[in-house]
Structure 1
Amino acid sequence: MNKLIAIFSGIQPKKPTLYSRISPLGSPSINLVPVLDKWVEEGNKVHVADLQIILKDLRKHRRFLSPLSICFTLQISEWMNTTQICTFSSSNHAVQLDLIGRVRGLESAESYFNSLSDKDKSEKTYGALLNCYVKERLTDKSLSHMQKMKEMGMVSTSLGYSDLMGLYINTGEYEKVPGLLNEMKENGVSPDNFSYRMCIYSYGKRSCIDEMEKVLEEMENQSHISMDWNTHTTMAHIYIKAGLTDKAFATSKKSEEKLTKKDGVGYNYLISLFASLGNKTEVARLWGLKKTACKKIMNMDYIAMLGSLVKLQELDDAEKLLKEWESSGNHYDFRVPNVLLIAYTKRGCTEKAEAMLEDLINNGKVPNPNSWGIMAAGYVEKDEMEKALGCMRKAFSVNKSDGGWKPNSTVISSLLHWLGDTCEVKDVEDFVRSLKDLIPINKDVYYALIKANVREGKDVDGILESMKANKIDLDEENGKVLSLKEEGAEYIAAT
Structure 2
Amino acid sequence: MAHRSLFLSLRRFSSCRNSGLACVLNRTRFVSSGAVSSDLVEESVEGDDDLRSRIFRLRLPKRSATNVLQKWVLQGNPITLSQLRDISKELRRSQRYKHALEISEWMVSNEEYELSDSDYAVRIDLMTQVFGIDAAERYFEGLPLATKTTETYTALLHSYAGAKLTEKAEELYQRIKDSNLSFDALTYNEMMTLYMSVGQFEKVPIVVEELKQQKVSPDIFTYNLWISSCAAILNIDEVRRILDEMSHGAGSNESWIRYLNLANIYISVAHLDNASSNTLVETEKRITQRQWITYDFLIILYGGLGSKDKLDQIWNSLGMTKQKMISRNYMCIISSYLMLGLTKEVGEVIDQWKQSTTTDFDMLACKKILVAFRDIGLAEIANNLNVILIEKNLSLGSD
For Structure 1 versus Structure 2, the TM-score category normalised by the shorter chain is 0.5 to 0.7
1:45 aligns with 2:72: no
User: Greater RCO between the two (CA within 8 Å, min separation 6)?
Assistant: 2
The letter for the 2-side match of 1:38 is K
Q: Alignment partner for residue 168 of structure 1, among 195, 201, 204? A: 195
2:243 corresponding residue in structure 1 = 216
When structure 1 is superposed on structure 2, of 272-281 and 18-27 the one drifting more is 272-281
Distance 1:20 1:74 in 2: 17
C-alpha contact (below 8 Å) 2:262/2:280 kept by paired residues? no
1:80 corresponding residue in structure 2 = 107
The letter for the 2-side match of 1:228 is S
Distance 1:142 1:199 in 2: 19
1:27 corresponding residue in structure 2 = 60
1:95 corresponding residue in structure 2 = 122
Q: Alignment partner for residue 129 of structure 1, among 126, 149, 156? A: 156
Structure 2: tracts of 5 or more residues without a match: 1-45, 322-332, 334-344, 362-399
1:118 corresponding residue in structure 2 = 145
For residues 312-360 of structure 1, the C-alpha deviation after alignment (integer angstroms, 9 at most, x for no partner) is xxxxxxxxxxxxxxxxxxxxxxxxxxxxxxx9x969xxxxxxxxxxxxx
Distance 2:290 2:80 in 1: 33
Distance 1:407 1:187 in 2: 36
Aligned residues: 285
For residues 277-325 of structure 1, the C-alpha deviation after alignment (integer angstroms, 9 at most, x for no partner) is 4548989xx99xxxxxxxxxxx969948xxxxxx9xxxxxxxxxxxxxx
The SS at the match of 2:224 is helix
Q: Alignment partner for residue 206 of structure 1, among 227, 233, 257? A: 233
Larger radius of gyration: 1
Distance 1:235 1:262 in 2: 15
Change (3 A) 1:211 1:28: farther
The letter for the 1-side match of 2:81 is V
Change (3 A) 1:89 1:165: same
Aligned-residue offset at 1:195: 0.8
Q: Alignment partner for residue 167 of structure 2, among 122, 140, 145? A: 140
C-alpha contact (below 8 Å) 2:54/2:68 kept by paired residues? yes
Aligned-residue offset at 1:222: 0.3
Aligned-residue offset at 1:219: 0.9
C-alpha contact (below 8 Å) 1:169/1:202 kept by paired residues? yes
Aligned-residue offset at 1:17: 1.4
The SS at the match of 1:228 is helix
Task: Describe how 1:399-410 pairs up with structure 2 within 5 A.
Answer: 406=357
2:208 corresponding residue in structure 1 = 181
For residues 161-193 of structure 1, the C-alpha deviation after alignment (integer angstroms, 9 at most, x for no partner) is 211111110110111111221222223222111
For residues 225-260 of structure 1, the C-alpha deviation after alignment (integer angstroms, 9 at most, x for no partner) is 3252684598489x5xx9956569998777678779
Distance 1:188 1:26 in 2: 47
Distance 1:170 1:15 in 2: 45
C-alpha contact (below 8 Å) 1:197/1:231 kept by paired residues? no
Distance 1:246 1:20 in 2: 56
Aligned-residue offset at 1:148: 2.0
Structure 1: tracts of 5 or more residues without a match: 1-12, 288-298, 305-310, 312-342, 348-372, 378-404, 411-495
The letter for the 2-side match of 1:136 is A
Distance 2:359 2:288 in 1: 33
What percentage of residue pairs aligned between the two structures are identical? 30
- TM-score, normalised with respect to structure 1: 0.48
For residues 175-220 of structure 1, the C-alpha deviation after alignment (integer angstroms, 9 at most, x for no partner) is 1111221222223222111111100111121222221121111011
The SS at the match of 1:154 is coil
Aligned-residue offset at 1:104: 1.4
Change (3 A) 1:210 1:262: closer
Distance 1:135 1:194 in 2: 16
C-alpha contact (below 8 Å) 1:98/1:128 kept by paired residues? yes
Change (3 A) 1:262 1:81: same
2:132 corresponding residue in structure 1 = 105
Change (3 A) 1:78 1:158: same
Aligned-residue offset at 1:408: 10
1:159 corresponding residue in structure 2 = 186
C-alpha contact (below 8 Å) 2:58/2:64 kept by paired residues? no
Distance 1:145 1:236 in 2: 37
C-alpha contact (below 8 Å) 1:91/1:124 kept by paired residues? yes
Change (3 A) 1:159 1:250: farther
The SS at the match of 2:218 is coil
Distance 2:250 2:282 in 1: 19
Which runs of structure 1 show a deviation greater than 6 angstroms over 4 or more consecutive aligned residues? 247-260, 264-268, 270-275, 280-283, 299-302, 407-410
2:220 corresponding residue in structure 1 = 193
C-alpha contact (below 8 Å) 1:33/1:75 kept by paired residues? yes
The SS at the match of 2:237 is helix
For residues 104-136 of structure 1, the C-alpha deviation after alignment (integer angstroms, 9 at most, x for no partner) is 122211211122112112222222222222223
Task: Describe how 1:476-487 pairs up with structure 2 within 5 A.
Answer: none
